[in-house]
Structure 1
Amino acid sequence: MGIRGLTSYVEDHSSQFFIDLKMRDTKIIIDGFALFHRLCFDSNLDLRHGGDYDSFTEVIERFFESLFACNIHPYVVLDGGCDISDKKLLTLKDRAREKIQVALSLSGGGRGNLLPLLIREVFIQVLNKLHVDFVQCFTEADRDIMTLANHWSCPVLTMDSDFCIFDLKAGFCPLNGFQWRTPTMIKDTCHYCIPARCFSVERFCRHFNHMNKDLLPLFAVLCGNDYISLPALDAVFTRLSVSPAAPNTKGRKHQRILGLLNWLSRFDDPTEALDNALKYLKVNDREVVRELLWASMEEYQQSPVKLQDFFQYGAYVSPCATKLGLPEWIQLALAKGQLSPFVCDALSLQRTILHTQVENMQCPSAHSISLPIRKVIYGLLQNSSPNLNNVPQSRGSKQLVAFNELKRVDKNIATVVTHAAKLPPDYWELGRLIELPLSKRQILLLETLKVKEGVLDPIPSSLKLPVAVTCFWLQSLQSRAKLNHVQALLVGMLCGQLHKMTSEPDNEELQVDGAKLLCDQFLKVKEIKVQKRLNLDTAHTFCQWQCCLQMGFYLNQLLLTPLPEPDLTWLYSGTLVHGLSQELSTSSSVENLLSVCPEARQLYNQLFHALKSAVPAEFFPQKSKAKKKKPKKNAVSLSKHRVGIALDTKSLHRHVSNRFGVLTLDDPEDPGQGSDCPSQGS
């Protein structure tokens, strides 16, 4: 939710509304959505190249290490899908439009904050690795967070202004005042604490003539939050001498907040205040507005969901999910973060949101390429429950359900109707999907990704799904991908293996040194790339790949992981892959690049050959035809330039097949702004 202008208002009066804390030896409830936004946007991470998930992972780890060092036990609560009443749809559309403008700014070298596509999945994977307790709610989490925090009498860590309204026993700490990067030692002890500021609702109400705390929810809905914005209330504000229109300046927003709070402080309870507000409306409007305001105020009351039962016993019961009649295994998988809010929205609303990336806005949305995967996901979800408004069907025939997809069309948003894929009868009942043998679930996944059985056998388990997704991506592009793009993605996938070699070395010292040297080279590539302009065509191509990975990841989860879930934290680093793509399109070769680490080179060969054997020749990028070279010495010079010192090393001849010479003669890539759409999805 969120009340417009309230965050900046209380910040401007922090000395009156906040208490200084030295936090340690406590539980804390963390608003997960707010946390991964803040960590991503406040850590100087690159946001133009599709996400440096490895760097983001390090930030998350440092955050929780600070908490553990101060004996703070975190409980992370994540939002799930949209409210099933869909009352926030207009707000969601407005935000989607804003993200398109931010993406457009970033693509041209401007500023802005836009989350990379897989940031949430990376966040959840890191929480699991660190054994941080977390839960994903079925819908928005604010009320559940408030209820849990009051049950345990511990503070909440968030940036949501709605927590100024909730009556929290231990208050809430804004993330921008939570100094986790600089823990301090408590005097005369060897213990550390985190300096923080805690908002006090008692101080806030005392400041406004000892206002009744029960009036705060009415203040929130009158002021306007994400759920309600009534033009009819403008008449009320006019009569109250409170600025009626949504103010454009900070000063006017604060004037409206101050005026409304001073006015409300005259009344003993919400009923009296609401009666006085509604008398300024037309008689015919009063009851309708009253019912709407009371319903909105319910959003600030205690939740029936008992998250403490989930954290203590692993039990999660959501009235919304129960009302929809969703299978029990789906409800629990959602609570454990094993299924995405994308699935939740498709189940409850038959509508999904496809988030815009930093892509070429002159091209169709990068999500277009992953449409066949999404159709299969919808096909699995369309028969989730008899309580949903699905089309009736019999065992002999099946009508396909329509799902609405909110996505970018040009530089605006639009709702596009997409029909679910027609699946074999074995997959018609979502509740029984968990009973299907692994082989059947794997067959559906591989057929969807256009991969034949056995192709992935030589591939390490952690990379089977990414390679399968890359096979799908190559076959779904309307025109052939560039070889340097494929090379860069595959080399980028090696980072996880290199990280294991360097962090937990169990090989010979020489091999570990090679891995460290290669990691250092990758860091240099990333540093150089950050300083250069974004090639929009290359960015769009990699955005398409990441869209395929996202939906392949979701489908694999929904099928109960017939392929091992890949470690996303080291799978894709945008600045590295963009930098490698440019390097491999000009003077560098894969052999030369990986020559310092034979293990990485060997793994790359496995990945490349798996792709080549899986993807029909007409879809696989070929080497560029070398131009005829008149002077012989020019040809020799070019050969030296392309292959470099790698061909002078004897080890290269021992480990790399001669057929990999095709990898050294790719077309150069223009590092500037792209003008034409790259290969488009079907």
Structure 2
Amino acid sequence: MGIQGFMSYVGEHREFFIDLQLRNTDVVIDGNNLYHRLYFDSNLDIRHGGDYDSFTNVVHQFFEALTTCNIRPYVVLDGGCDASDKKLTTLKERAREKIQAAHSVSCGGGGSVLPLLIREAFKQILAQIQVPFVQSFSEADRDIVSLANHLNCPVLTLDSDFCIFDLKAGYCPLNYFQWKNLCSGKGLQDCYIPARCFSLERFCNHFSNMNKTLLPLFAVVNGNDYINLPAIEMFFSKVHLPVGSSRQKGRKHIRIHGLLNWLSRFADPAEAIENILKYLKKHEAEETRQLLSAFMEDYQPSGVNLKDFFQDGVYESEEVKKLELPHWICTAFAKGVLAPFISDALVLKRTMLHVQVENMQRPSAHAVALPIRQVIYGLLWNASQGSPSTFPSKEPTSPTPVFHEFDRIQKAFKKSFVQAAGLSGKFGSDQYSLTTLNQIPLADRLLFLLETLGVTENILEAVPCHLQLPVAVTCYWIQHAEPKVKLQHMKALLLGVVFGELDKIVHSSDPEVSHIEVNKIVYVQLLKRKERKSQKEPLELDAAHIFCQWQCCLQMGLYLNQLLCCPLSEPDLTRLYSGTLVHKLYHELKLVSTPEDLLSASPRMHQLYCNLVRIVKNVTPSGFFQKKKPKDHRRKNKHCNGKLLDKKENTTLDNLPSCSSNNRFATLMVEN
């Protein structure tokens, strides 16, 4: 949620806060708010699809700071939209703002656009460093309050709604949480993080000792992210709000200050509501009373006991019980194994696709992954029907499985109707029921996934297990992307994947993983390319668009794999894609014809790279990557030279041995 203008209003009053030395305590963290702040506050890439490796380093540093001060974090993430879908209007408005921001960034301007897979990467980081987290079924605010009060610890976020909730140990805004400036006392055990904690008592005392139960009414009347009552504007137009000794600047702050002063006159919410209704027309009064009371309930702690979840892995809520979902699905949502995209599609038959920094003159980058989404919708539609016999088939009497998608069309945000893919033959709806999906043999689920992506299992045998899904997705991407993927796009992307593998090896503490000096040399060479400072040159929009399409394919391939209970190993997103490096490699490859030179000092990395290139080439039509015939003699010579280089490369590829996929690092250990 979020109350318009309230956080900046509160921030101007130093007297509302208590200085804290945070250490030796639990803390409940608003996960969505944290990864937004860490990404944007760290000045990480937003133009080239994101640098997940750099983000990973920042997240590690943040939680290392907490560990140093013996602060025990519990992270709570938002889930999908609640079944009432009451926030739809706000979500659409925010999506339109993101489209404008993405367009601005694509043209060299400012804006804040998160990388597409940042949430999934964040969850992987939390799992890797063993930070406990839970994914609420819908919005997490009330679950956060409930958990924080159970643990009697502060909440860490930057959401103004937490100034309204009655939190036992208070709310620490992220912008006052100085995790980069650790302070030490007499010994290491006394190390602490300077912070400020919002004090509800100080706030209420400032307004004539206001009853704190009036604050939810203030939030609803002032208006938060999804509350917009036209009748309330009538109240504001007629009531005289006392300004008092306001120091506020701007209309929003004056209105907030006046409304708080006005509400402080009343003993409780019931009395205040009656005085609000006096300013409304008679036929609006009763409906407004009911709406105000209903919206105020959103500021009460939830009935979900997340303490039980962190102890026993049990997540129970009335909202989930009403939906009567299979138990394994509920557990997968709570553990973050399934994304909010899946719950929105399952519960609401509606999804929203997040914009990237792409070519706004072309169709949305998400269009390339539509066939994968249709398969996901088919699986979920089958579940929602309750009986296999009702799943749509070719007969005209069957219902039409239609889902609503919100996506970018040019610079507008529009809804479209998407038909789910039907399940037939060996993948019939009687077998692929969501209730028993987790019980289907692994081989069948793997075949279902690979057929959706258009690859066969034997193609992936020479690929390390953790890279099989990204390689399968890359094969799909090359055959569906528009504009057409060029050889330089494909090679730059795969070189970026190899860089991610190098990064893991160089920083690995696993004694089984070889730390070879030559690997470090290659790693440093690639790292210098990524970090090389250059003038802010215009973004090559079609290249950006093509790489955005790859992320869209990977996102939906990942979601389908998760829904099928991971027949392929989940890829490590924290090191898989570095947009800055991939774009720089792409521009370099347009000038340098032998990308293998980048890996010449590391035969094992060269082997992995060549295996990946060969596999992708083998699934593309013959001549797919061939250049057009030259129009003049100069270009002809250049073309001939390129053919010779391609021939040399293909000879290298043909002589490379294949690797067993049984050993995760087998491909990395093959000698040249």
TM exceeding 0.5: yes
1:230 shift after superposition? 1.5
Structure 2 residue 565 is matched with structure 1 residue 560? yes
Opposite residue 530 of structure 2, the aligned amino acid is K
Q: 1:635 to 1:109 in 2, by over 3 A?
A: closer
Q: What is residue 21 of structure 1 aligned with on the other side?
A: 20
Q: Give runs of aligned pairs for residues 253-292 of structure 1, distance below 5 A.
A: 253-292=252-291
1:617 shift after superposition? 2.4
Task: Return 5+ residue gaps in structure 2 as ranges.
Answer: 657-672
Q: What TM-score do the two structures reach when normalised by structure 1?
A: 0.89
Opposite residue 553 of structure 2, the aligned amino acid is C
1:450 shift after superposition? 0.5
Structure 2 residue 652 is matched with structure 1 residue 656? yes
Q: 1:359 to 1:401 in 2, by over 3 A?
A: same
Deviations 1:493-516 (A, max 9, x none): 112321232123889999722221
Q: Give runs of aligned pairs for residues 511-590 of structure 1, distance below 5 A.
A: 512-528=516-532, 531-590=536-595
1:428 shift after superposition? 4.0
Opposite residue 11 of structure 1, the aligned amino acid is G
- Is 1:6–1:257's contact at 8 Å kept on the other side of the alignment? yes
Counterpart of 1:184 in 2: which secondary structure? coil
Opposite residue 561 of structure 2, the aligned amino acid is N
Q: What is residue 596 of structure 1 aligned with on the other side?
A: 601
Opposite residue 603 of structure 2, the aligned amino acid is P
Q: Give runs of aligned pairs for residues 196-235 of structure 1, distance below 5 A.
A: 196-235=195-234
- Is 1:602–1:655's contact at 8 Å kept on the other side of the alignment? no
Deviations 1:644-677 (A, max 9, x none): xx99xxxx999934899xxxxxxxxxxxxxxxxx
1:189 shift after superposition? 6.2
1:282 shift after superposition? 0.3
Q: What is residue 665 of structure 2 aligned with on the other side?
A: none
- Is 2:164–2:299's contact at 8 Å kept on the other side of the alignment? yes
Counterpart of 1:61 in 2: which secondary structure? helix
1:250 shift after superposition? 5.7
More deviation, 287-296/621-630? 621-630
Counterpart of 1:521 in 2: which secondary structure? helix
More deviation, 297-306/135-144? 297-306
| Distance (Å, rounded) in 2 between the aligned partners of 1:546 and 1:203 | 47
Opposite residue 10 of structure 2, the aligned amino acid is V
Counterpart of 2:208 in 1: which secondary structure? coil
Counterpart of 1:430 in 2: which secondary structure? coil
- Is 2:352–2:406's contact at 8 Å kept on the other side of the alignment? yes
Q: What is residue 165 of structure 1 aligned with on the other side?
A: 164
Q: 1:394 to 1:351 in 2, by over 3 A?
A: closer
Q: What TM-score do the two structures reach when normalised by structure 2?
A: 0.91
Deviations 1:448-490 (A, max 9, x none): 0000231111111111000000111111135532110000111
Q: What is residue 678 of structure 1 aligned with on the other side?
A: none
Deviations 1:176-204 (A, max 9, x none): 11011111102466531111000011110
1:591 shift after superposition? 1.7
Structure 2 residue 67 is matched with structure 1 residue 68? yes
- Is 2:241–2:261's contact at 8 Å kept on the other side of the alignment? no
Q: What is residue 402 of structure 2 aligned with on the other side?
A: 402
| Distance (Å, rounded) in 1 between the aligned partners of 2:471 and 2:138 | 33
| Distance (Å, rounded) in 2 between the aligned partners of 1:288 and 1:446 | 53
Deviations 1:20-63 (A, max 9, x none): 00001000000001000000000010111001000000000000
Q: What is residue 301 of structure 1 aligned with on the other side?
A: 300
Q: 1:189 to 1:374 in 2, by over 3 A?
A: closer
| Distance (Å, rounded) in 2 between the aligned partners of 1:268 and 1:93 | 38
Q: 1:458 aligns with which of 462, 466, 470?
A: 462
- Is 1:324–1:385's contact at 8 Å kept on the other side of the alignment? no
1:522 shift after superposition? 1.7
% identical equivalent positions: 55
Q: 1:496 to 1:435 in 2, by over 3 A?
A: same
- Is 1:243–1:255's contact at 8 Å kept on the other side of the alignment? no
Deviations 1:296-323 (A, max 9, x none): 0000012111111100111011222211
Q: What is residue 679 of structure 1 aligned with on the other side?
A: none
Q: What is residue 85 of structure 1 aligned with on the other side?
A: 84
Structural RMSD (CA)? 2.9
Q: What is residue 373 of structure 1 aligned with on the other side?
A: 372
Q: What is residue 667 of structure 2 aligned with on the other side?
A: none
Q: What is residue 614 of structure 1 aligned with on the other side?
A: 619
Q: What is residue 666 of structure 1 aligned with on the other side?
A: none
Q: 1:242 to 1:426 in 2, by over 3 A?
A: same
Q: 1:617 to 1:639 in 2, by over 3 A?
A: closer
Q: What is residue 52 of structure 1 aligned with on the other side?
A: 51
Deviations 1:267-299 (A, max 9, x none): 000000000001110000001111111110000
- Is 2:26–2:153's contact at 8 Å kept on the other side of the alignment? yes
Deviations 1:232-273 (A, max 9, x none): 1111112223499xxxx9611110000000000000000000
| Distance (Å, rounded) in 2 between the aligned partners of 1:243 and 1:365 | 50
| Distance (Å, rounded) in 2 between the aligned partners of 1:2 and 1:654 | 57
Opposite residue 252 of structure 1, the aligned amino acid is R
Deviations 1:104-153 (A, max 9, x none): 11101111111110000000000000000000000000001001111111
- Is 1:325–1:385's contact at 8 Å kept on the other side of the alignment? no
Q: 1:409 to 1:301 in 2, by over 3 A?
A: same
Deviations 1:82-115 (A, max 9, x none): 1211111110010000000100111011111111
- Is 1:52–1:574's contact at 8 Å kept on the other side of the alignment? yes
Opposite residue 150 of structure 2, the aligned amino acid is H
Opposite residue 419 of structure 2, the aligned amino acid is H
Q: What is residue 4 of structure 1 aligned with on the other side?
A: 4
Q: 1:9 to 1:605 in 2, by over 3 A?
A: same
- Is 2:241–2:262's contact at 8 Å kept on the other side of the alignment? no
| Distance (Å, rounded) in 2 between the aligned partners of 1:454 and 1:609 | 13
| Distance (Å, rounded) in 2 between the aligned partners of 1:402 and 1:149 | 40
Opposite residue 564 of structure 1, the aligned amino acid is S
1:364 shift after superposition? 0.6
Q: What is residue 422 of structure 1 aligned with on the other side?
A: 422
More deviation, 292-301/390-399? 390-399
- Is 1:505–1:512's contact at 8 Å kept on the other side of the alignment? no
Deviations 1:586-623 (A, max 9, x none): 125212121121111100111111112223326x3225
| Distance (Å, rounded) in 2 between the aligned partners of 1:20 and 1:507 | 45
1:425 shift after superposition? 2.5
Q: 1:490 aligns with which of 477, 484, 494?
A: 494
Q: What is residue 470 of structure 1 aligned with on the other side?
A: 474
Structure 2 residue 468 is matched with structure 1 residue 433? no
Q: 1:243 to 1:225 in 2, by over 3 A?
A: farther
Deviations 1:362-409 (A, max 9, x none): 001000000000000011111334689x99458997644211001111
Q: What is residue 143 of structure 1 aligned with on the other side?
A: 142
| Distance (Å, rounded) in 2 between the aligned partners of 1:86 and 1:508 | 50
Opposite residue 403 of structure 2, the aligned amino acid is F
1:348 shift after superposition? 1.1
Q: What is residue 671 of structure 1 aligned with on the other side?
A: none
Deviations 1:529-575 (A, max 9, x none): 76432110100000011100000000000000001000001110001
- Is 2:483–2:546's contact at 8 Å kept on the other side of the alignment? no
| Distance (Å, rounded) in 1 between the aligned partners of 2:602 and 2:195 | 46
Counterpart of 1:494 in 2: which secondary structure? helix
Q: 2:453 aligns with which of 449, 452, 463?
A: 449
Opposite residue 220 of structure 2, the aligned amino acid is V
Aligned residues: 645
| Distance (Å, rounded) in 2 between the aligned partners of 1:570 and 1:461 | 15
- Is 1:80–1:141's contact at 8 Å kept on the other side of the alignment? yes
| Distance (Å, rounded) in 2 between the aligned partners of 1:496 and 1:51 | 14
